[in-house]
Structure 1
Amino acid sequence: MFRSGNYRLITRTSSALSPRSRRTAALLAVGALTVAVTSACAHATAGTTSDVGASASSSSTNSGTPATSLRLGYFANVTHSTAITEVANGTLAKDLGSTTLSTSIYSSGPTEMTALLSGQLDAAYVGPSSALSAWTKSDKQGLTIVAGAEDAGAELVVNSSITSAAQLKGKTIADPQLGNTQDVALRYWLKTQGYTTTLQGGGDVTVQPEANATTLSLFKEGKIDGAWLPEPWASRLVVEGKGHVLVDEKTLWPGGNFATTNLVVATSYLQAHPQTVAELLDAQIATNTWITANPSAAQTLIGAQIKKLTGSTITAAEIARAWGEEAVTNDPLVSSLSTSLAHAVATGQLKNTSLTGIFDLTLLNQELAKAGLSSVPTS
């Protein structure tokens, strides 16, 4: 069950299987699942031209030694489809070979990043604002963004009585956690609408950080007026909570593209074990290719895994709706991070700073080339 703050489910998988050719068999096995959900929406890989410089770093080759273990964090959300799938179907464990994989499930980015910076995780799928905050708190040394994972997939859902931004004064709007990606987006959007908020919950509109499951319950009970949430929680508020979308975040970004989830690695781990990070990227690339080609089977798999990981059932209608709101990608959409930083600065959550060094896409582009795929922009 969900509980306030983070929830964690630890699984451990060890494998001595190193040949990457076995990854294809695993993916085909998943593709043979009986498909219970259909969707007209392709979960297509996204990409844009980027403006922020990415570092060309020391991980230009797969030198170093394979790690004995990889501790990976992610969420039981549709916006973490890549991680859910590559763990569930065994692709990641197989690509890691003799490296032992352990996974931890979180419900919020800031909590997950605290675990990464404190040495409890080696890598994590996380929202860009949470990664950016952790990077600055660690004097720009603690983590490196090595890939994207999800494009879009967040909305402001409100009750039926609210039909415009002008009605939000005095209302209470929830989001996952203070300082997370949706929290920054919500506070900045409210600022553009002329509203004040405070980090303590004051101002014209009360922003109330809650665990996503708690937010759904509060919304259904009429105790909050809306929430800015990632998928599938936005869809759950629409389907189960009978709410409606006031703001689809895609409408606020050029081309509708913005990073919702990136893959980050502890910088010390990246420097010591680039070969293992390359294997992690190989698993992601293969998984995203499979998800894009098999959207219905992927929805079935992800819905079942979310139930397994959280004990909460996501209906077929909710998964299908969520699927159309976001897309897996290997591209971290570098340029969108500058905008995320500007929003965090405008809302008083971060100070302006250079982003030089936060990205290292060297290994990603190396592994994409090996897979016969196009590279992603580094600037």
Structure 2
Amino acid sequence: MRDIKTLIRTVAAVGAALGIVASAAACGSSKSSASSTKAAAVSSGSAATQVRLGYFANVTHATAVVGVAHGDFAKALGSTKLSTQVYNAGPAEMTAVLGGQLDAAYVGPSSALSAFVQSHGEALKIVAGATEGGAELVVKPSIASAADLKGKTLATPQKGNTQDVALRFWLKQQGLTANPDGSGDVSVNPQDNATTLDQFKAGHIDGAWLPEPWASRLVEEAGAKVLVDERSLWPNSQFSTTTLVVATTFLTKHPDTVRALIDGQIAANTWITSNPADAQKLVNSELKRLTGKALTDAEIQRSFSEQKVTNNPDASTLQTSLDHAVAVNLLKSTDLHGIFDLSILNAELTKNGQPTVSDAGLAKK
């Protein structure tokens, strides 16, 4: 996996090569039913022949996992082909978006921010939220406080991803250093989540800040305990873990396809909320297909209890996420105006009788 410095160099090179430019997304009208959306996608000249979607084999990406497996995306997209690619963490996924290998992606806010900052606000738009909560710092039972972490080694999914930023900022608040080069009071070791589980079991690391289901797997399989539930660090226990981003060029050229993708998400989230037991079974089945291993009943139930699916990107928290990344020297401060385009989402939510969501005034530059 590439670290944040590699991502920055890649983004800069890709931005120069592709000459990415920002453009306002056109937003047409469509029917709220899946069949009407399908007809619009077939007949509209702005519909793409294919949409390439990235997501993770995580419970925090239940919206995407269900949208694919339950057929909600395919139904809404109609004749537009859905191609998917699974990633371990956001920085590598954002490299794919910036390099033109993905049109849309489910990703954490810190990784979306990194791509936005390094492309000077041109490369992508956040068009919806997907998950709130579902991230924890889990550690060996002998660790009772932040002070006990000095001299210890912790893991995250990838340098610069949402959990990596959360861990480094929290350590800074506790008076502990965790430098991007691995030095400091606490050594942070970004790595694949499956590797983290194995290394924790073997005693090679002392804990990890992880999304679900990995936090639950360390708790249930390896005897870890929760030191920090990230929900406790945010007002009203609300923070965005997963968002839906779309390449700006794709959104500009194919707004009807983005509308269909969002319709598929709304349908998937509605089904998850209305059928929690069936949703857990479906997600678990898909995780087994994608990773080769299903979760135990305790793990899938615990994972779902730690989070919730949503269409709201919690836009008001994004500046805080950026401030945290800046504070730990992973990003430079930037103007976030233009990072959101929730116009299609809000139009489709209205058609489905659901409340609209706020962009916190960050939709326009």
Q: Same fold by TM (over 0.5)? A: yes
Q: In the alignment, is the contact (CA less than 8 A) between 1:64 and 1:274 conserved in 2?
A: no
Higher RCO structure (Cα 8 Å, ≥6 apart): 1
1:195 alignment partner in structure 2: 176
Q: How many angstroms does 1:372 deviate by? A: 1.1
Give me the whole-angstrom Cα distance separating, in 2, the residues matched to 1:270 and 1:153: 29
Aligned to 2:86: 105
Query: 257, 276, 291: which one pairs with 1:295?
Result: 276
Amino acid at match of 1:174: A
Q: Which residue of 1 aligns with 2:320?
A: 339
Q: Is the 8 A contact 2:152 2:187 kept in 1?
A: yes
Aligned partner (choices 87, 103, 114) of residue 68 of structure 2: 87
> Which of residues 243, 252, 257 is equivalent to 1:271?
252
Match of 2:28 among 44, 50, 61: 61
Partner of 1:23: none
Q: Would the aligned equivalents of 1:108 and 1:176 in 2 still touch at CA under 8 Å?
A: yes
1:249 to partner: Cα distance: 0.2
**Residue deviations 1:44-67 (CA, integer Å, cap 9, x gap):** xxxxxxxxxxx9943333586100
Q: Deviations over 1:217-250 (max 9, x none)?
A: 0001110000000000000000001010000000
Aligned residues: 328
Contact 2:116-2:124 within 8 A present in 1 as well: yes
| Pairing of 1:107-122 with structure 2 (within 5 A) | 107-122=88-103
How many Å apart are 1:108 and its aligned residue? 0.8
Deviations 1:159-201 (A, max 9, x none): 0110111101000000000000000000000000000111110
Aligned equivalents of 1:358, 1:218: Cα separation in 2:
37
Structure 1 unaligned spans of 5+? 7-54
| Contact 1:57-1:362 at 8 Å conserved across structures | no
Tell whether the 8 Å contact from 1:59 to 1:363 is kept in structure 2 after alignment. Answer: no
Taking the TM superposition and a 5 Å limit, the aligned residue runs for 1:144-183 are 144-183=125-164
Whole-angstrom CA distance in 2 between matches of 1:269 and 1:301 = 30
Identity of aligned residues (%): 60
What is the deviation of 1:5?
Answer: 7.1
- 2:219 pairs, out of 209, 216, 238, with 238
Aligned position for 1:318: 299
> Which runs of structure 2 are paired with 1:216-231 in the superposition (5 Å)?
216-231=197-212
TM-score by length of 2: 0.88
1:19 corresponding residue in structure 2: none
Write the distance in 2 (CA, Å) between the matches of 1:64 and 1:108. Answer: 34
Whichever residue aligns with residue 242 of structure 2, its letter is T
Q: 1:96 aligns with which of 70, 77, 90?
A: 77
- Check conservation: 2:23, 2:249, Cα contact below 8 A: no
Contact 1:73 1:106 in 2 (8 A): yes
| Residue equivalent to 1:29 | none
CA contact (8 A) 1:142 1:267 kept: yes
SS in 2 for 1:200: coil
Provide the residue aligned with 1:361 in structure 2: 342
Name the aligned partner's letter for residue 204 of structure 1: D
Q: Deviations over 1:237-286 (max 9, x none)?
A: 00001010000000000010000000000000000000010000001001
Task: Please give the secondary structure, in 1, of the residue aligned with 2:335.
Answer: coil
Aligned to 1:126: 107
Counterpart AA for 1:223? H
Residues 207-226 of structure 1: per-residue CA shift (max 9 Å, x gap): 00010000000001110000
Please name the residue that 2:289 is paired with. Answer: 308
Going from structure 1 to structure 2, the CA distance change for 1:172 and 1:92 (only over 3 Å counts) comes to same
Q: Secondary structure at the match of 1:265?
A: strand
Q: Which shifted more, 319-328 or 307-316?
A: 307-316
Distance in 2 (alpha carbons) for counterparts of 1:58 and 1:85: 27
The answer as to 2:221 corresponding to 1:254 is no
Which has the larger share of helix?
2
TM-score, normalising length: structure 1:
0.85
The SS at the match of 1:240 is helix
Query: What are the superposed Cα offsets for residues 343-363 of structure 1, whole Å, 9 maximum, x if unpaired?
Result: 001000111111000000000
The answer to whether the Cα contact below 8 Å between 1:56 and 1:360 also exists between their aligned partners in 2 is no
Q: 1:197 and 1:65 mapped to 2: Cα distance?
A: 47
How far off is 1:299 after superposition? 0.3
Q: Equivalent residue for 2:38? A: none
